[in-house]
Amino acid sequence: MANRVAPASPELTKFYSERHDWRNAGEERMRFRKHMQLAQVRPGSAVLDIGSRNGDLRKYLPRDVKYQGLDIAPEFAAPDILIHDITSGLPFPDASFDYVFMVEVLEHTPTAYSTAGEIYRVLKPGGVWMVSVPNPYHVKEIIWNLFRVPDRQGHIYSWTRQTISRLGEMNGFRLVAWGGTYFYPPIPAPWWMLARSVAYKFVKA
């Protein structure tokens, strides 16, 4: 498979390309650990990592998984990371993967509903969709809303447990587990309500 596909949206590509080096290693570590705790990835599985950046999720996966990263920013192009805009669909055959990860990506996705349908399509029967999104009840989100702080991170949607559960159900998924990712500075969140983001585990019904 080629490691470059022309993105469908130049505006989205430009936005995330300009921000490709925005990251916090400590926060990413907490997110990845929570995803691994919930996902329980089996050795030898086929894994799709949407919004993969440079593929750091691989460090937390079993060594023998078949890993495929996907990102919109050309800076991350690599043999196992495909550059592609998911608003145009997923460029993979039906039932290609055992697990699909979206770590802090769905809130950036203009086509969230159709993207969830595409994830259902590329997952094998019983496959797992792991997705984490910012917690809209976190104190920072509440303060930003109260003081009308403009979004600079490309967030389009705010997902509650009810709305993301419904999104999954309408696309053939069943929510089986969820939990908070981290609390500042970052440390593991003692309760999901204090967590900066929340991870959800869906299973293809």
For the domain that residue 83 is a member of, what is the CATH number?
3.40.50.150
- Structural contact between residues 112 and 102, judged by C-beta atoms closer than 8 angstroms: no
Q: Is pTM beyond 0.85 here?
A: yes
- Quote the domain boundaries for residue 92: 10-204
Q: What is the mean pLDDT of residues 77-97?
A: 97
In a domain, 20, yes or no: yes
| Alpha-carbon distance values, 122 to 16, 108, 139, 141, 171 (Å) | 25, 20, 36, 33, 12
- Structural contact between residues 183 and 197, judged by C-beta atoms closer than 8 angstroms: no
In a domain, 2, yes or no: no
55-70 confidence digits (pLDDT tens): 999 999 999 999 999 9
In a domain, 3, yes or no: no
More confident residue, 127 or 138: 127
In a domain, 5, yes or no: no
Q: How many domains does the chain have?
A: 1
| Alpha-carbon distance values, 205 to 5, 41, 99, 171 (Å) | 30, 18, 14, 9
- Structural contact between residues 185 and 30, judged by C-beta atoms closer than 8 angstroms: no
The Cα 19–Cα 39 span in angstroms is 28
